[in-house]
Amino acid sequence: MFEDFTDGVKLNELVENYNKSCKEGWQIKKINERIWKVDFPYKIIFDLIEEHAVKIGEQISEILSQVPDIESILYVGGYCSSEILISSLKKNFPKLTHLKPSFPERAVVSGSVLFGIDPTTINIRKALYTIGFNCDDNWDEKLHGGIGEKYYDPVYKIYKCKNSFHALIRKGEDLTQNKYIEESFITMNSRNIILKFFKSNKVNPVLYTEEGVELIGNEQLDLKKDYPENERCFILRLNFGGTFAVCYCHHDNSGRDFSFPLYFSK
């Protein structure tokens, strides 16, 4: 079924010519009329895994520099079945105990299933990011000076900083199962509220416009009519569930509220 080819060129001839011109170790072999096999040097796979092993080793070194009392490495996931990876890590970290289950790939699957059935199996997790929303904080010269944009608010008669990152939870903080974070705030807009949520790898980001800050949620609430200054208070609640986070916002005076998910993979 593969015999006829463009311009009368036979597939067998094309493969034969390729095998003559390709690099050593690369060969295409015909098993039968329907099956072909490609042979390539083992070194290609070795180099690919070794490159990843080096990067994994660099990450482990960074972790050890921050937490030096770590004694063991526990391997999980299908990639840990590679002896190339494990040999590389044992060579670079000989003082650590290397723990490899018989089937490391099952650990990820089992953990996901157990967590899905009963999320309480994991009591505490660590926040991977600092999470917060957009606001204009009161101007602080030590905090905002040199990086922030200062402006005068004639309503409250104070100086503020544009594009401030107001953190609700910080990187490394404990997250218990179904943890709720609640905070009240006052919007400057009399009718609409626009909430933008961000994540950052920094523990203490100052502005949401700085490098490394990413948008993870964006929503707008129309109150249907204008409200005076003393009626612009909102309640913000952030709920960290099993593998997700949801933002809830409520305005008491109008009774209006909305919720939206935060997408950390963006």
Q: What is the CATH number for 94?
A: 3.30.420.60
For residue 132, the tally of other CB atoms under 10 A from its CB is 22
180 and 147, same structural domain?
Answer: yes
CATH of the domain at 136: 2.60.34.10
Please check whether residue 200 lies inside any domain of the structure.
yes
Domain that holds residue 151: 125-261
Find the mean pLDDT for residues 197-205.
92
Confidence of residue 233 (pLDDT cuts 50, 70, 90): confident
Does residue 161 register a pLDDT over 70? yes
Does the structure show a pLDDT above 50 at 120? yes
Q: Which amino acid makes up residue 140?
A: D
> 8 pLDDT band (50/70/90 cuts)?
very low
* Cα–Cα distance list, 252 to 30, 223, 230, 257 (Å): 74, 11, 12, 9
Which SS3 state, helix, strand or coil, does residue 112 take?
helix
**Shared-domain flag, residues 130 and 95:** no
> What pLDDT does 32 receive?
76
Asked if the model's pLDDT at residue 96 lies above 50, the reply is: yes
Among 14-28, 99-113, 124-138, 186-200, the minimum mean pLDDT is found in: 14-28
Instruction: Supply 253's token pair.
Output: 């005076």
Q: Is residue 149 predicted with pLDDT exceeding 80? A: yes
Same domain flag for 136 and 257 = yes
pLDDT, average across residues 59-66: 89
The reply to whether 80 falls in a domain is yes
Averaged pLDDT, 163-184: 84
The mean predicted confidence, pLDDT, of the chain is 81
Query: Does 1 fall in a domain?
Result: no
Structure-block tokens of residue 138: 């009161």
Please report whether residue 222 resides in a domain.
Answer: yes
At residue 243 the predicted structure's pLDDT band, cuts being 50, 70 and 90, is low
Task: Calculate mean pLDDT across residues 66-75.
Answer: 88
Task: Calculate mean pLDDT across residues 178-183.
Answer: 79
Angle of the 83-92 helix axis to the 42-66 helix axis, nearest 10 = 40
- Over residues 5-26, the mean pLDDT reads 66
* Residue 266 within a domain: no
Residue 165, pLDDT score = 93
**Has residue 226 got a pLDDT over 90?**
no
Q: Do the domain assignments include residue 210?
A: yes
Same domain, 170 and 199: yes
Whether 68 and 135 map to the same domain: the answer is no
Residue 204 has pLDDT above 80, yes or no: yes
The domain total for the chain is: 3
In a domain, 48, yes or no: yes
Which region among 11-25, 95-109, 155-169, 203-217 has the lowest average model confidence (pLDDT)? 11-25
